[in-house]
Amino acid sequence: MKLFQVTPGVRVKVLRMDLPGDVQNKLVGMGLIPGAIVEVVKIAPLGDPIVFSLNGRNITLRKKEAEGIEVEPVDEVMPLYLAMFEDGEYEVVEMFEGKRFLEKVKKLGIFSGERLTVKNGTLYLKGRPILLGKGEALKILVRGVKG
Amino acid sequence: MRPVRHGLCQVADKKGSGEVRVALVGCPNVGKTSLFNALTGSKQYVANWPGVTVEKKEGVFLHKGFRISVIDLPGTYALDYNSLDEKITRDYILSGEPDLIVLVGDSVNPEQSLYLLLEIVEMEKKVILALTAYDEAKKMGIKIDKYELQKHLGVPVVLVSSITGEGLEELKDLIVDYSARKGVLHKVHLDYGEAMEKRIREVLNNLTDLPIGAPPRYFAMKYLSGDTQFYQEALKSGLPELSEEERIAFKISLSKKKRELIENVIKEAYQSSEEKVLSLSEAIDHVLTHKFLSFPLFFAFMYLVFKFTFETAQVFSDLLDLAFTNLGNLLVERLGENAISSFMADGLISGVGSVLTFVPNIFFLFLAMGFLEESGYLPRAAFVMDRIMEKFKLSGRSFMSLLLGFGCNVSSVMSTRVIDDPKERLVTILISPFMSCSARLPVYLLILRIFFPHASAALLFSLYTLSILITLLSSSFINWLFYRGRSSPLIIELPRYRFPTFRNLYLYTWNRGKHFLKKAGTIILLASIAIWFLTYFPGNGNVEESFSASIGKALTWIFKPFDYSWKITLSLFYGAVAKEVIVSSITMLYNFDEVELETARSVLGLEMDPVKAFTFLVFVMAYIPCIATVATIYSETNSLKWTLFSVLYSFGIAYSLSLLVYKIGGLVVRS
Ligand SMILES: Nc1nc2c(ncn2[C@@H]2O[C@H](COP(=O)(O)OP(=O)(O)OP(=O)(O)O)[C@@H](O)[C@H]2O)c(=O)[nH]1
Ligand SMILES: [Mg+2]
């Protein structure tokens, strides 16, 4: 997944960077190197740029540049929204409040402890494809299941 | 990775020559200039955003019989050779000119500072680590073990605060003692692991002659990581070319190893109260960059600044005005009506005094700007505004520079040096004179108070809005004319919020305001004297027969479409020197004291209606930058072509814009 897709509050690890030379040099100089742990802190009111924190310092970056930075989540538990970028098996850990929302997921058959599968960016529950909005996918926390 | 020590160097008993040169190096915004000021007693420009210092500054202090010159450098995150700041700083360090380097680091977030430190250690320079803003670290409950740092890093460490003065004496002692020593405390040699060390050794073995200006090991590492400067030099001296992948990989591995070491050092030396509560800085940030609140808040702040300089300061301005008028009247009473009393009253007091009356407004404006810059809000505003600026082919970074232009265009042109992208920098320089600087404020206030006593605040605000619009649209236009390119990325470190100290605000306001006073005492004074002579002779006081009248009448054709009188035309002509001179010229040519608004209204009213008066202000807002700004544009762009462009372009814009306002205003009023 790319850094610009990461939602605020999630810690990610930098895997690769593919940016124009000058930008890359500047970021490497500031400590953004593969292996560094960063967290998106905030997205600007108009949707761009973002602020990420790196070793306790907050640095701004436009989404265009953040597109060139490949990252992966550090923590086991993450919003389903992020999990959708990575194919695999996930277990639902928790779901946030919202009466209508809870009713909807209940109807879909999603409960805590349920297994979900992500394949090519599509979500499956027991082999059945499921469509969720971004807001909804953010309200469901999942944990990656090994194997 | 572990540091390997090469043994302690002997302490020299030789007495120093009495002269020590110390360079302050550190990341942007860590507090180098504050430390510089605290050490040398200077009053250099300090503010809470990265990139404040753009020039090398030198200061001196005496300690224990030594004369210590301190050099304050622009901040850099690394010492590669990519940006201008990095080049300047690295060249200076490697030049061997400084006897000693003080690495100014951040006590609260030392990681990047220690990275910079290790770079300098690898350049085999004598360096002291001064962790500054220690007062803030203490407030946050961070405990720092400086002996642990010293042990791992191999350099002397001091904890200082430029605000409370803590540690300053210790630092001074250390500078004197350490510079008198031969060699460094102990040479730390970072071990990068067998694979990388082997590569470095190979290169060292292949070096036929020793590189000039850099230690061999440092040179070898820079060559392997494809450094812009040393890679080329290495090729010239016969080392083989390396593939780009290899260079990048080596560079990143070097950086990674250093950061690992630093992480461990910090773990050993730092202790902080673990529980992470929502800090004040985060809470403030949440509101100020909030999705819905950020824009209204920004405009509310701007409006407050504006109200503050316009209304609160006015009380003081009126008092000064009264004083100057009375002084003038008194002089005429005592000396009688003659050339000398006219020179004193109409030339000096009216010319310079009329400008000085606005000192309170200008000081209040700077006080507000100081608050904006010192609190750390400026880069946040840049962050929030970036998306909008991008539409005009600018970035949040240029927004910061432009906003400074409300104070003075010269400082906004200077501050563009930190804009990495040369095109964006040039465009920002060219458009920044449109930001309505403090020197234009007196003209606005004078005219608005005469012609629009009830709507002056609203009209003043509209002038400022117009100035911002012209600035932004000019950027689109200039980009369209010359570049049609992309806008540059926005990479800014957001500083911690700081509540501006009284001392810092006072220094900021005084530094900026002093400049205005100086101008009043020099350029404006000289201009006033010249204008008085031109206006008094040869008609002996009869304005209509003066030299000024001849010049003015010869120029009126320029403003034919506006129907400006020769006096108004002439004031614009004289005002090219500095915008405040327009005020001096008008008061002298029309011979009124500002306090008597009624007289002023009746004399000026004969020649101008409100529409014309407002048109005049629009023209003043946009037309050619003052001489100081033009000179700065020339020295910063190093191009006569662009300087000329700036002058002609702004004149063209001012002319067409005010003509437009004149026509529209005429229609509205007449209908
Ligand atoms: N509390 C506290 N604040 C400090 C200290 N030193 C500097 N500051 C603040 O840190 C900010 C940056 O200070 P500067 O001295 O301008 O930093 P600089 O390193 O010269 O910055 P650049 O010139 O932009 O590289 C200002 O707001 C200072 O008031 C300190 O010891 N304690
Ligand atoms: Mg500085």
List the structure tokens of B88.
């300047």
pLDDT digits (tens, 9 = 90+) for B231-249: 988 888 888 899 988 998 8
Question: Quick one: pLDDT at residue B9?
Answer: 38
In a domain, B604, yes or no: yes
Instruction: Say which residues have a Cβ less than 8 Å from residue B243's Cβ, sequence separation at least 6.
Output: none
Residue indicated by tokens 């004369």: B67
What is the three-class DSSP state of B650? helix
In a domain, B195, yes or no: no
Residue B69: domain span: 17-189
Share above pLDDT 90 across residues of chain A, in percent, rounded to a whole number:
29
> What is the residue type of B238?
G
For B542, list phi and psi in degrees, rounded to 5: -85, 105
Strand A140-145 versus strand A77-79 pairing type: antiparallel
Residue with the bigger pLDDT between B457 and B137: it is B137
Instruction: Say which residues have a Cβ less than 8 Å from residue B335's Cβ, sequence separation at least 6.
Output: B341, B344
For B305, list phi and psi in degrees, rounded to 5: -55, -45
Q: Taking the CB of residue B653, how many other CB atoms lie within 10 A of it?
A: 18
Instruction: Assess whether pLDDT exceeds 70 at residue B482.
Output: yes
Mean pLDDT of B610-625: 92
On whether any CB of chain B is under 8 Å from the CB of A37, the answer is: no
Closest to B79 measured CA to CA, from B124, B125, B48, B120? B120
Cα–Cα dist B279/B11, whole Å: 46
pLDDT interval class at A110 (50, 70, 90): confident
Q: In the listed set B154, B189, B224, which residue is the last one of a domain according to the structure?
A: B189
Question: Which chain A residue has its CA at the smallest distance from B381's CA?
Answer: A44
Q: Taking the CB of residue B224, how many other CB atoms lie within 10 A of it?
A: 25
Average pLDDT, rounded, for chain B: 86
Pocket test for ligand 1, best of B24, B27, B29 (most atoms within 8 A of CB): B29
pLDDT interval class at B275 (50, 70, 90): low
List the structure tokens of B352.
């310079």
Question: Quick one: pLDDT at residue B641?
Answer: 95
Whether the Cβ atoms of residue B516 and residue B578 lie closer than 8 Å to each other: no
Contacts of B82 in chain A (CB under 8 A): 22, 25-26, 29
Question: Quick one: pLDDT at residue B7?
Answer: 37
On whether any CB of chain B is under 8 Å from the CB of A44, the answer is: yes
Between the two ends of chain A, the Cα-to-Cα distance in Å is 20
Question: Quick one: pLDDT at residue B374?
Answer: 92
Question: Quick one: pLDDT at residue B512?
Answer: 84
Strand B66-72 versus strand B19-26 pairing type: parallel
Whether the Cβ atoms of residue B310 and residue B317 lie closer than 8 Å to each other: no
Question: Quick one: pLDDT at residue B493?
Answer: 94
Cα–Cα dist B387/B487, whole Å: 11
Q: Which of B266, B279, B387, B391 to mutate to test the interface with A (most CBs of A within 10 A)?
A: B387
Strand B157-159 versus strand B127-132 pairing type: parallel
Instruction: Assess whether pLDDT exceeds 60 at residue B8.
Output: no
Question: Quick one: pLDDT at residue B519?
Answer: 82
Residue with the bigger pLDDT between B566 and B420: it is B566
In a domain, B303, yes or no: no
pLDDT interval class at B594 (50, 70, 90): low
pLDDT interval class at B186 (50, 70, 90): low
Whether the Cβ atoms of residue B642 and residue B426 lie closer than 8 Å to each other: yes
Distance from the B393 Cα atom to the nearest Cα atom in chain A, whole angstroms = 14
> What is the residue type of B105?
G
What DSSP state is assigned to residue B156? -
What DSSP state is assigned to residue B101? E
Instruction: Assess whether pLDDT exceeds 50 at residue B565.
Output: yes
Question: Quick one: pLDDT at residue B487?
Answer: 64
Mean pLDDT of A117-142: 86
Q: Taking the CB of residue A7, how many other CB atoms lie within 10 A of it?
A: 14
List the structure tokens of B437.
């600087």
Note the ligand closest to the C-alpha atom of B507: 1
Residues near ligand 1 with C-beta < 6 Å? B 26, 28-34, 46-48, 50-53, 74-75, 132-133, 135-136, 161-163, 374, 498, 504
Instruction: Assess whether pLDDT exceeds 60 at residue A147.
Output: no
Contacts of A49 in chain B (CB under 8 A): 383, 386-387, 396, 490
In a domain, B260, yes or no: no
pLDDT interval class at B158 (50, 70, 90): very high
Q: Is B493–A56 a contact, with Cβ atoms under 8 angstroms apart?
A: no
Size of interface A-B (CB pairs under 8 A): 105
Question: Quick one: pLDDT at residue B287?
Answer: 86
Q: In the listed set B157, B174, B189, which residue is the last one of a domain according to the structure?
A: B189
Instruction: Assess whether pLDDT exceeds 60 at residue B166.
Output: yes
List the structure tokens of B660.
């437009």
Q: Is B77–A57 a contact, with Cβ atoms under 8 angstroms apart?
A: no
Q: Maximum distance among all alpha carbons in chain A?
A: 51
Distance from the A138 Cα atom to the nearest Cα atom in chain B, whole angstroms = 18
| Closest CA to ligand 1's atom 27 | B48
Strand A37-43 versus strand A50-54 pairing type: antiparallel
pLDDT interval class at A109 (50, 70, 90): confident
pLDDT interval class at B2 (50, 70, 90): very low
Question: Which chain A residue has its CA at the smallest distance from B30's CA?
Answer: A57
pTM score, whole prediction? 0.85
In the CATH hierarchy, which fold is given to the domain comprising A3-73?
Answer: SH3 type barrels. (2.30.30)
Domain count, chain B: 2
Question: Quick one: pLDDT at residue B63?
Answer: 92
Instruction: Specify burial of residue A113 (Cβ count, 10 A radius: 0-12, 13-18, 19+).
Output: exposed
Residues B321 and B177 in one domain: no
Residue with the bigger pLDDT between A22 and B173: it is B173
pLDDT interval class at B554 (50, 70, 90): confident
Neighbours of ion ligand 2 (CB under 5 A): B 32-33, 52-53
Residue indicated by tokens 């109409």: B346
Residue with the bigger pLDDT between B489 and B167: it is B167
Cα–Cα dist B52/B504, whole Å: 14
Question: Quick one: pLDDT at residue B34?
Answer: 95
Whether the Cβ atoms of residue B322 and residue B329 lie closer than 8 Å to each other: no
Cα–Cα dist B303/B298, whole Å: 9
Question: Quick one: pLDDT at residue B602?
Answer: 80
Q: Which of B278, B378, B493 to mutate to test the interface with A (most CBs of A within 10 A)?
A: B493
What DSSP state is assigned to residue B69? E
Residue indicated by tokens 């002439």: B570
On whether any CB of chain B is under 8 Å from the CB of A121, the answer is: no
Question: Quick one: pLDDT at residue B173?
Answer: 95
Contacts of B83 in chain A (CB under 8 A): 26
Q: Which of B69-83, B133-147, B212-226, B525-539 has the lowest mean pLDDT?
A: B525-539
Q: What is the DSSP string of A45-106?
A: TTS--EEEEETTEEEEE-HHHHTTEEEEE-SSEEEHHHHTTS-EEEEEEEE---HHHHHHHH
| Closest CA to ligand 1's atom 11 | B48
Instruction: Specify burial of residue B658 (Cβ count, 10 A radius: 0-12, 13-18, 19+).
Output: buried
Mean pLDDT of B181-199: 79
Question: Quick one: pLDDT at residue B633?
Answer: 94
Mean pLDDT of B394-407: 90
Residue indicated by tokens 């400082």: B411
For A5, list phi and psi in degrees, rounded to 5: -90, -15
Residues B180 and B327 in one domain: no
pLDDT digits (tens, 9 = 90+) for B78-121: 998 888 888 889 999 999 899 999 999 999 999 999 999 999 99
Residue indicated by tokens 């970035």: B395
Mean pLDDT of B454-460: 83
Closest to A85 measured CA to CA, from A94, A69, A74, A73? A73
Instruction: Specify burial of residue B67 (Cβ count, 10 A radius: 0-12, 13-18, 19+).
Output: middle
Mean pLDDT of A103-127: 85
Closest to B179 measured CA to CA, from B297, B288, B99? B99
Give per-residue burial for B141-171: e unless 16+ CB within 10 Å, then b: ebebebebbbbbbbbbbbbbbbbeebbbeeb
Q: 3-state DSSP: chain B helix, strand, coil percent, rounded to 5?
A: 65, 10, 30
Cα–Cα dist B527/B540, whole Å: 19
Residue with the bigger pLDDT between B337 and B432: it is B432
Instruction: Assess whether pLDDT exceeds 50 at residue B15.
Output: no
Q: In the listed set B141, B163, B189, which residue is the last one of a domain according to the structure?
A: B189
Question: Which chain A residue has its CA at the smallest distance from B263's CA?
Answer: A55
Domain ranges of chain A: 3-73, 77-144
Q: Taking the CB of residue A94, how many other CB atoms lie within 10 A of it?
A: 11
- In ligand 1, the atom with minimum distance to the C-alpha of B374 is 27
In a domain, B595, yes or no: yes
List the structure tokens of B258.
């250093």
Q: Which of A62-76, B400-414, B530-544 has the lowest mean pLDDT?
A: B530-544
Question: Quick one: pLDDT at residue B11?
Answer: 38
Question: Angle of helix B244-269 relative to helix B216-224, nearest 10 degrees?
Answer: 120
- CATH number attached to the domain at A77-144: 2.30.30.90
pLDDT digits (tens, 9 = 90+) for B317-374: 888 878 887 888 888 888 877 778 888 877 788 778 878 888 888 888 889 889 989 9
| CATH code, domain with B75 | 3.40.50.300
Question: Which chain A residue has its CA at the smallest distance from B116's CA?
Answer: A29
Cα–Cα dist B373/A57, whole Å: 19
Partners of B70 in the beta sheet? B22, B59
On whether any CB of chain B is under 8 Å from the CB of A45, the answer is: yes
Mean pLDDT of B200-206: 89
Cα–Cα dist B18/B176, whole Å: 9
In which region does residue B12 sit, left (phi positive, over 0), alpha (psi from -120 to 50) or beta (all else)? beta
On whether any CB of chain B is under 8 Å from the CB of A64, the answer is: yes
Cα–Cα dist B316/B510, whole Å: 17
In a domain, B83, yes or no: yes
Residue indicated by tokens 């906004």: B412
Closest to B181 measured CA to CA, from B228, B238, B126? B126
Mean pLDDT of B415-426: 86
Q: 3-state DSSP: chain A helix, strand, coil percent, rounded to 5?
A: 25, 40, 35
Residue with the bigger pLDDT between B1 and B650: it is B650
Pocket test for ligand 1, best of B46, B281, B373 (most atoms within 8 A of CB): B46
Instruction: Assess whether pLDDT exceeds 80 at residue B460.
Output: yes
Instruction: Say which residues have a Cβ less than 8 Å from residue B278's Cβ, sequence separation at least 6.
Output: none
- Nearest CB neighbour to A60, from listed B82, B255, B491: B491
Instruction: Assess whether pLDDT exceeds 90 at residue B184.
Output: no
List the structure tokens of B458.
């609203």
- Nearest CB neighbour to B493, from listed A23, A48, A58: A58
